[in-house]
């Protein structure tokens, strides 16, 4: 756990977080304080049908101009360009994304294209922007991606069938409104998957090569809350206390991995999502315990901290034993909330694992994993264990 004198890090999170039941009512003032007067809502059809987008449109009142409701899972380069043109046509000067990770990431891309012009594909890479983008307020309707507080936008290039990460401090949303009533109606499968995404963010922050003390605090607290409240959210969707705590956990885990960066769990989940359309949170849920086992020799002491944060009784155990208990607790959680535990259950073919391993090795997240991974066989071994 201890850090040495060579500890050096940056911590950055500019997002204002507004939390509370019915806090969505504050959105008009929050728009104005960012200098916005024409807000475009970015969402998807499902959220629109559930009446959530309308709730935000009403709360925006006179600052509302239009809604772009074409978002799809994993987003798309073409979609971001289309959304940005639509927003400019409507004269929008601020974006309000209402949705899960894909919607939020679509809006991040739109904010960039609206400000800088051109197409999304002009801004590939890491930290290519040099000024603030179109203001963006996020109203998450799932609790998991943490995208409301991160500098990542993961958008699928449907032509090449890969998920691409845009990474830039100017993509971090200005504000996040966490209102438990906006997630209370989520069905179990849209609760469990994103919930496990958030736990993966917390664990990846804890084992990251870029780990640091401020982030440890957030990630461990996030893990504590997720273990306690995620099952409650799945079992009783309208439990607003549990929903609120899980929303906060997702945001904290988001800040955590946004600063310390994701690792092998995400490097392996991205190709499984891009190649076989496995939802991101489900892929993470399946892979997380196997990656923890793979990393065990490098960070048993940190997984032991995780076990304590998760309220496991590990007082008489060594770090290695406590770390093993943390892995088991993650597996038990996945089972309890009804998610699949094997890649074969979500139709990933065994013969596709080698291609997925190749993509993993090229994923930017892999460099932050505590155990150095350079060999395709090593990644394949983890995939096989999870298959
Ligand atoms: Fe994630």
Look at residue 12 and tell me whether its pLDDT is greater than 60: yes
pLDDT in tens, 293-352: 999 999 999 999 999 999 999 999 999 999 999 999 999 999 999 999 999 999 999 999
Q: Rg (Cα) of the chain, in Å, rounded?
A: 20
Distance 55 CA to ligand 1 centre (A): 27
Distance 153 CA to ligand 1 centre (A): 11
Looking at residue 87, what is its pLDDT?
A: 98
Distance 58 CA to ligand 1 centre (A): 31
Which residue, of 157, 182, 207, is where some domain finishes? 182
Q: What is the mean pLDDT of residues 203-229?
A: 97
Q: Do 221 and 174 have their domain in common?
A: no
pLDDT in tens, 269-301: 999 998 999 999 999 999 999 999 999 999 999
Look at residue 45 and tell me whether its pLDDT is greater than 80: yes
> Which CATH number characterizes residue 123's domain?
3.40.50.1970
Q: Do 31 and 108 have their domain in common?
A: yes
Please state the domain count of the chain.
2
Distance 62 CA to ligand 1 centre (A): 35
Q: Do 144 and 275 have their domain in common?
A: no
Q: Do 104 and 209 have their domain in common?
A: no
Q: Do 173 and 266 have their domain in common?
A: no
Sign of the dihedral through C-alpha 58, 63, 67, 73:
negative
Whether 226 is covered by a domain: the verdict is yes
Distance 114 CA to ligand 1 centre (A): 26
Q: Do 193 and 228 have their domain in common?
A: yes
Domain that holds residue 272: 188-386
CA distance 180 to 176: 12
Distance 222 CA to ligand 1 centre (A): 14
Distance 195 CA to ligand 1 centre (A): 10
Q: Do 96 and 211 have their domain in common?
A: no
Whether 157 is covered by a domain: the verdict is yes
Please provide the distance, in angstroms rounded to a whole number, between the alpha carbons at the two ends of the chain.
32
Distance 289 CA to ligand 1 centre (A): 15
pLDDT in tens, 26-43: 999 999 999 999 999 999
Distance 232 CA to ligand 1 centre (A): 21
Q: Do 28 and 105 have their domain in common?
A: yes
Whether 98 is covered by a domain: the verdict is yes
Whether 11 is covered by a domain: the verdict is no
Q: What is the mean pLDDT of residues 69-85?
A: 95
Q: Do 128 and 71 have their domain in common?
A: yes
- Enter the pTM of the model: 0.95
Please check whether residue 226 is in contact with residue 198, taking contact to mean a CB–CB distance below 8 angstroms: yes
Looking at residue 224, what is its pLDDT?
A: 98
Report the candidate in 109, 100, 101, 110 with the shortest Cα–Cα distance to residue 40.
110
Whether 137 is covered by a domain: the verdict is yes
pLDDT in tens, 13-23: 999 999 999 99
Look at residue 1 and tell me whether its pLDDT is greater than 60: no
> Which CATH number characterizes residue 330's domain?
1.20.1090.10
pLDDT in tens, 121-173: 999 989 999 999 999 999 999 999 999 999 999 999 998 888 889 999 999 99
Q: Do 259 and 163 have their domain in common?
A: no
Report the candidate in 237, 188, 154, 183 with the shortest Cα–Cα distance to residue 47.
183
Mean pLDDT computed over every residue of the chain: 96
Q: Do 20 and 82 have their domain in common?
A: yes
């Amino acid at each position: 756990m201890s850090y040495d004198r060579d500890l050096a890090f940056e911590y950055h999170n500019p997002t204002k977080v507004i939390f509370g039941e019915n806090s969505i009512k504050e959105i008009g003032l929050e728009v104005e304080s960012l200098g916005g007067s024409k807000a475009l809502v970015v969402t998807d059809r499902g959220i629109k049908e559930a009446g959530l987008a309308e709730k935000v449109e009403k709360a925006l009142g006179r600052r509302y101009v239009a809604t772009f409701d074409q978002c799809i899972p994993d987003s798309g380069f073409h979609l971001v360009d289309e959304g940005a043109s639509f927003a400019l046509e409507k004269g929008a000067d601020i974006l309000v994304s209402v949705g899960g990770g894909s919607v939020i990431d679509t809006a991040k891309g739109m904010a960039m294209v609206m400000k800088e012009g051109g197409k999304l594909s002009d801004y590939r890479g890491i930290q290519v922007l040099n000024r603030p983008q179109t203001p963006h307020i996020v109203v998450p309707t799932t609790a998991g991606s943490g995208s409301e507080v991160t500098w990542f936008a993961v958008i699928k290039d449907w032509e090449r069938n890969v998920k691409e990460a845009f990474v830039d401090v100017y993509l971090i949303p200005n504000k996040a409104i966490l209102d438990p009533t906006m997630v209370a109606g989520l069905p179990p499968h849209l609760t469990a998957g994103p919930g496990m995404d958030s736990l993966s963010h917390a664990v990846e922050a804890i084992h990251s090569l870029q780990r640091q003390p401020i982030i440890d605090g957030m990630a461990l607290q996030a893990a504590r809350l997720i273990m306690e409240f995620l099952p409650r959210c799945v079992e009783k969707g309208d439990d607003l206390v549990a929903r609120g705590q899980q929303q906060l956990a997702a945001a904290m885990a988001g800040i955590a991995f946004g600063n310390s960066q994701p690792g092998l769990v995400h490097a392996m989940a991205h190709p499984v999502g891009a190649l076989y359309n496995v939802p991101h949170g489900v892929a993470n849920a399946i892979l997380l315990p196997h990656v923890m086992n793979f990393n065990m020799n490098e960070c048993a002491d940190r997984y032991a901290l995780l076990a304590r944060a998760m309220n496991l009784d590990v007082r008489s155990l060594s770090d290695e034993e406590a770390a093993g208990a943390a892995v088991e607790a993650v597996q038990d959680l996945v089972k309890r909330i009804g998610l699949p535990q094997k890649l074969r259950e979500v139709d990933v073919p065994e013969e596709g694992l080698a291609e997925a391993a190749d993509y993993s090795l090229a994923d930017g997240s892999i460099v932050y994993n505590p155990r150095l991974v350079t060999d395709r066989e090593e990644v394949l071994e983890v995939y096989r264990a999870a298959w």
